[in-house]
Chain A
Amino acid sequence: MRVDPSYVTNLVGALDQTQVNEQQLSSELSSGVSVSSLSQNPVASGENVLLLNHIQQDDSFTQTSSLVSGKLQVADTALSQVVTQLNTAISLATRANNGTMNASNIQSISKQLAGILAEVTTLANTSYQGQYIFAGSQSSAAPFSTSTSTTPATTTYSGDSSVNYLETPNGQSIQLNVPGDQIFQGSGTSSVFGALNNLIADYASGTVDTAKAVSDTAALNTSLNYVSQQRVTIDNSLTQLTAASEAVSSDQTQLTTVQSNLMQADYATVSTQLSLAETQQTALISVIAQLNSTSNTLFSKL
């Protein structure tokens, strides 16, 4: 039976292979990544792209939502202050309507109501980081202005009814603003500014047309309720945003774990394999050294 006289060359080939293995395993240990090229695990590489996509989207949403919640908080605070002001206005108007006040007191109430109107206008023109938050999409200019050329004065709205939504990674839409015309001008009878302007005009002369004043006060009350309702929309958005952020955050944590398991090296396994490769290499070296010694051919016996 014949034998390949150069079988030692094959052993050297095997020795080279163990060195390659050792190199690969060491680089895996040092980088911490088990899949460093596509061919090592093609399915994992494809999965990895999808997982990272999800994780990064979640991360981006977390950052965006903190931006957005600031703006919503400001809107909520402004509206709560509007409600306070309107409550004050209603109690002033009620006192003026009960018929126990003299003309100069009534005129002073008119002036106080004018002050409240100015305050509410300022609140309606609240801006956040340079953008007017109650102007719909026309956020670069203050939406509300009052002109005293008419009696009663008219407050005009120069914004629009555009509503912005924020999409969460799960496809939920969160409302980001309520347009000013919706809050303060409602649908005709529940207009905050309309009612205030009317009441100011009603008390300006000092004499009260009680029926008209009472109906205007009722209108102001209705508009106050309307503002409170709009405020609920903002509060809902804040709640939704918090819930979405929490969901996204836990989603991100979970996915990060999955992605790590997919791509990161398992140190225990790699260390064991590395030590096996080293043992194999040592063994091969001894075998080759032994076989290569010169007393192994017949020639040495001649």
Chain B
Amino acid sequence: MGTISSAFSIISGALDADQAALNVVSNNVANANTTGYSEEVPTFEQSQTINVNGKTYGTGVSETGATSLRDRVLEQRLDQQQQSASASGARLTALNNIQALFTPDSGASSSTAGDIGSDITKFFSSLSSLEAEPTDSSLRLNVLSTAKTLSGDISNAAASLHSQQAGLDQDTTGVVSQINSLTTSIAQLNQQIQAASPSDASGTLEDQRQQDLSDLSKLIGINQVTTANNGVQITTTSGQLLVAGGVSNQVEGGIVNGVTDYSVNGTDVTSELASGGGELGGYLTARDQDIPSALSSLDQLAYSISTSVNAQNNQGTDGDGVTGSTANPLYIFSEPATVAGSAASMSVTMINSSQIAAAGAGKGTGDNSNAVVMANLAKQSIVNGQTATNYYSSFVSSLGSTVSGVETENTALNASVTQLQSQSNALSKVNLNDEASALTTLERSYQAASQVFSILNTIIQSALNLGESTAVS
């Protein structure tokens, strides 16, 4: 039924559609810099045709809404890379703090104080110097002073590591509270999206949820699965359920052995979280792996030096003629009970330098044989099968390698995140040139429709004037 009035309604439908599309384009331009906003494309659909007496008549166009341009798979890949990049980034920061405690001695005379390697050497050298003149009180005082420097630097390093560990612990608590609020928000969005647009990926709710998901990925390692009704199910990389439909499970922390352990639904997942990725994974790895490893190396070093030197000093005769014994031991350092904790508690307990047993047992005070043996402890494998200096050298070397490895990994991951981000932006971010050309197209199409409207108006005017002598305008 191709009447003029039906043509009018088709054209007004077209004008409406163009207006709606212009709305979408303006929305795009307005949100060009909004984080997480993906470009929307208006969808034009031909309206249902009408069939009258075997003839088909079209009924125009309608704008059925806007589709967001997004690639779910690309976004997931980006999120996963973000997880790994954040994890290595957080771990790298913590590792840099650890390695700052062991800056290499440049060897210049004004080099940084507190280098443990130099302290070890100076301590054993002071014993070598004592060989020359075992009764010299200034040489004896020097032995005690180098011992104090060594024990001071080791115990300071251990104390710093402990406080860094506490700092990381606090960081994890902060991250976990952020995670909990994000999972709650995602669960709510799931419900809202399910109600609003269960069948297609569009809309600002979708954008918000994606933004939350990508923020969450930076914080914790997750796997996401799209469920029925456009929902998203989130589990940790080790399989603990965080969000399912409209329900979110909180990550709870509790103090165990002085550090905070985390559990989901009652299951302790701290070690899985550490290897799972995200900032939380990075912090937990540094807190539970890197720092304890450095501490245990320092403990081993402190324990071996303290016990070996103490034992040897106790086997000689000191400057007062007293020979060491088990009842009244002549100990220079405080004797540690266990390896664990011996670095933090390393200290010099000897007050009188005359108690340094330079002479062999039973010899006169001018003898230096015990001083020779004590000085030679520097060349003996007293720490886990290595000399003290070699042990420290391996320690710094391996710490440096670990940090360097994480640095390299971090750079590579950040580069890949940047690349994926570019790809994602190319697809979803508002391109102002595209919007400008869309705007021009819609403008022209609106012009064309309104031109048709004027023409139809003229036609009706002519129709109304058919067979009449007076004109109606």
Contacts and interface: CB of A to CB of B under 8 A. Distances in A.
Contact of A297 (B394, B429, B432): B432
B121 A67 contact: no
A176 B372 CA distance: 13
A33 interface: yes
Interface centre among B104, B108, B396, B429 (most CB of A within 10 A): B104
Contact of A6 (B125, B128, B393, B425): B425
A297 B433 contact: yes
A302 B440 contact: yes
Contacts of A38: 99, 102-104, 396-397, 399-400, 403
B20 interface: no
A64 interface: yes
B104 A35 contact: yes
A4 B117 contact: no
A48 B105 contact: yes
Contacts of A13: 418
B366 A131 contact: yes
B365 A139 contact: yes
A53 B105 CA distance: 11
B365 A140 contact: yes
A23 interface: no
B376 interface: yes
Contacts of A4: 421-423, 425-426, 429
Interface in A157-187: 159-160, 162, 164-167, 176
A139 B135 contact: yes
Contacts of B128: 57, 60-61, 64, 167
A139 B366 contact: yes
A2 B422 CA distance: 10
A10 B418 CA distance: 8
Given A56-B125, A263-B107, A137 B396 contact: no
A116 B71 CA distance: 110
B255 interface: no
Contacts of B376: 167
Interface of B: 95-96, 99-100, 102-108, 117-118, 120-122, 124-126, 128-129, 131-136, 359-360, 363-369, 372, 375-376, 378, 389-390, 392-394, 396-401, 403-404, 407, 418, 421-423, 425-427, 429-433, 435-437, 439-440
B131 A166 contact: yes
B365 A56 contact: no
Contacts of A298: 432-433, 436-437
B103 A37 contact: yes
A102 B396 CA distance: 85
Contact of B366 (A39, A61, A63, A138): A138
Nearest to A36: B103
B117 A49 contact: yes
B125 A57 contact: yes
A161 B221 CA distance: 74
Contact of A139 (B102, B364, B440): B364
Given A13-B418, A57-B128, A60-B129, A39 B375 contact: no
Contacts of B398: 42
A200 B89 CA distance: 92
A256 interface: yes
B432 A5 contact: yes
Contacts of A289: none
Contact of A129 (B118, B136, B359): B136
A39 B403 contact: yes
B404 A56 contact: no
24 contacts: A36-B103, A37-B400, A41-B400, A42-B400, A45-B400, A49-B393, A57-B125, A57-B128, A57-B378, A60-B129, A131-B133, A131-B366, A137-B363, A162-B360, A162-B363, A162-B367, A166-B132, A167-B375, A167-B376, A176-B368, A297-B432, A298-B433, A298-B437, A299-B436
A259 interface: yes
A135 interface: yes
A48 B107 CA distance: 9
A43 interface: yes
B364 A137 contact: yes
Contacts of A176: 132, 368
A36 B372 CA distance: 36
Given A10-B418, A33-B106, A165-B372, A52 B364 contact: no
Given A10-B422, A60-B128, A49 B396 contact: yes
A43 B131 CA distance: 34
Given A6-B429, A57-B125, A136-B366, A52 B105 contact: yes
A5 B103 contact: no
B122 to A, nearest CB: 6
A45 B430 contact: no
Contacts of A299: 432, 435-436
B397 A45 contact: yes
B353 to A, nearest CB: 16
A5 B366 contact: no
Contacts of A10: 418, 422
Interface string A20-50: 0000000000011101111111111111111
A70 to B, nearest CB: 10
